[in-house]
Structure formats: structure tokens, C-alpha cells
Amino acid sequence: MDKKKKQRTIIFYKTYFDDFFKGQKQKVKDKIIWTFDLIEELQRVPETYLKHIENTDGLFEIRVQLASDIFRIFCFFDQGQLVVLANGFQKKTQKTPKKEI
């Protein structure tokens, strides 16, 4: 991906995401980083990669899929262009488990 002007910046909230990220295989880490690059660089991010979670006040999920493995990373926006990452998990059911939020 060509380096373009960043539309937003991603930061971590505490160590929740970092703890999740460190436990992943390298291919998963690479796909997560690729998805982060999209979110930082695209003006309008497709819902395939970033989606508002229904019935929440500003909570979003970053959506990462590698083959049949699906991962979700919770995030929210601070002052519009700053994406703050919270928890991440591997999704194994259709609905997002409440304990992960």
C-alpha cells in the first residue's frame, strides 16, 4: 500500500490490545497491521473493516479476517481522527460475546 496522508491515528488504551496482539501468529499480526493501515489512510473505511456496534454510544469494531479465522478489536474515536484501541479477541460465534465488550 502506498503511503498516503493519514486520515486518522491509532493508539492503544492501556495494554489490552497489546496483550491480545502479542499472542497472535505472525500471519494474523500482519493482517491486523494491514487493516490498521487501511483505517489510518482511507477517508471512508468500508464496514468490512470498521463497523459501529449497534446499540452502543460510539463503540466500533475493527474487523479482521484471515482464512476462516475472524478477529475483532474494539475501538472508539477521540476527537474524530484519533482511533483508540481497546480489547481484541478471536470471534467464534455469530454474535459478539458481551464479556468481550
Number of structural domains the chain divides into: 1
Q: Which residues, 6+ apart, have CB-to-CB distance to 50 below 8 Å? A: 39, 60, 61, 62, 63
Q: What is the mean pLDDT of residues 28-34?
A: 98
Q: Residue 27, Cα to own-chain centre: how many angstroms?
A: 16
Q: Is residue 101 part of a domain?
A: no
How confident is the model over 42-89, as pLDDT tens digits?
999 999 999 999 999 999 999 999 999 999 999 999 987 899 999 999
Asked if pLDDT for residue 2 goes beyond 60, the answer is: no
Q: What is the model's pTM?
A: 0.84
Torsion of CA 68, 47, 40, 10, to 10 degrees: -80
pLDDT band at 92 (very low <50, low <70, confident <90, very high): confident
Residues of the domain holding 53: 9-91
CATH of the domain at 32: 3.30.2310.20
